[in-house]
Structure 1
């Protein structure tokens, strides 16, 4: 495990010195144990698919740019019914890496100093040695892509109107379980 590596992110290393001039096409697919670890990390019911199709190429002399697509399928509990809700994710990936000694590396910032970042700017990550672990950045992209309030297709949440008595939670759940009338 590399320094700074989360214990539940798949290790997916790219060897920088072996990167061809014209780039390297990479396909990554997480195994079952890795998908279980990712699901546990985000507190979701499951990760059925976690794959990436990428192109890594040299960038800015000693840096590496990685572009491609992240594909995932997750199961999360519906925020209303708690039934499993599947979310298919297809996220564009654009990552930039430079050696930690590079002039493009982020400047060290003291804890109490402020730094202005433009959200439109792509973040540049640093790496040490000759390897870049792509697993953690891909897992972080999945975390950002997850729906924070997943709901099934026909599930709605109805707030109590003023003056109405609030129904018991069990009555609400019973109504959700009733078959729909067409």
Structure 2
């Protein structure tokens, strides 16, 4: 969650007590201003859509399990040409929302634990964080490649740079 002095761009608070014994479903969609603010936060040209469909189930220890799908259409800049690259992000989401007093688990195969603040978890912020993690760290426009001059005959991309390094002094 963001620091207390900052309001998240995409805020959808969920009171853990509102999830009854039968669970519940939520659909979260970011409005245009929220998507523009998220794009600025992520340093990308655009978040054109952001939607999450989640199902909540209470667990015996008071935690709430959230599972579902996150889908977003984003525009990132190509790392080679800087051209805009439209991409579709679709990710499964699995989280444990923790009430006060429930300690996070440190299990690699378990859902991420999200602590609550006074029994409230900001689902919008949790989905924004999931989207940030799912973004392609090296987006490329179709056909974009590093210049051939940067590779040697063996295809080593930094070999040409090694030729520019000054020779080590000999003693």
Q: One fold, TM greater than 0.5? A: yes
1:108-127 Cα offsets, whole Å, 9 max, x none, are xxxxxxxxx55434332211
1:133-172 Cα offsets, whole Å, 9 max, x none, are 1112111111111111111122222342459x99xxxxxx
Moved over 3 A (4+): 1-9, 117-121
Q: How many residues align?
A: 154
- In the superposition, relative to structure 1, how do residues 145 and 119 fare at CA in structure 2: closer, same or farther (>3 Å)? same
Aligned twin of 2:56? 56
Checking the alignment, whether the CA contact within 8 Å between 1:57 and 1:65 is kept in structure 2 is: yes
Q: Of 107, 129, 132, which residue of structure 1 is paired with 2:118?
A: 129
Aligned twin of 1:91? 91
Q: Which runs of 5+ in 1 are unaligned?
A: 108-116, 167-182
- How far apart, CA to CA, are the structure 2 residues paired with 1:162 and 1:50? 42
Residues 159-170 of structure 1 mapped to structure 2, 5 A cutoff: 159-160=148-149, 161-162=151-152
Q: Of 133, 138, 146, which residue of structure 2 is paired with 1:149?
A: 138
Checking the alignment, whether the CA contact within 8 Å between 2:28 and 2:124 is kept in structure 1 is: no
- How far apart, CA to CA, are the structure 2 residues paired with 1:55 and 1:156? 42
Aligned twin of 1:120? 109
- How far apart, CA to CA, are the structure 1 residues paired with 2:4 and 2:148? 44
Query: When the two structures are superposed, what TM-score results if normalisation uses the length of structure 1?
Result: 0.75
Give secondary structure in 2 for the equivalent of 1:62: coil
Query: When the two structures are superposed, what TM-score results if normalisation uses the length of structure 2?
Result: 0.79
- In the superposition, relative to structure 1, how do residues 133 and 75 fare at CA in structure 2: closer, same or farther (>3 Å)? same
Checking the alignment, whether the CA contact within 8 Å between 2:98 and 2:104 is kept in structure 1 is: no
- In the superposition, relative to structure 1, how do residues 79 and 22 fare at CA in structure 2: closer, same or farther (>3 Å)? same
Aligned twin of 2:25? 25
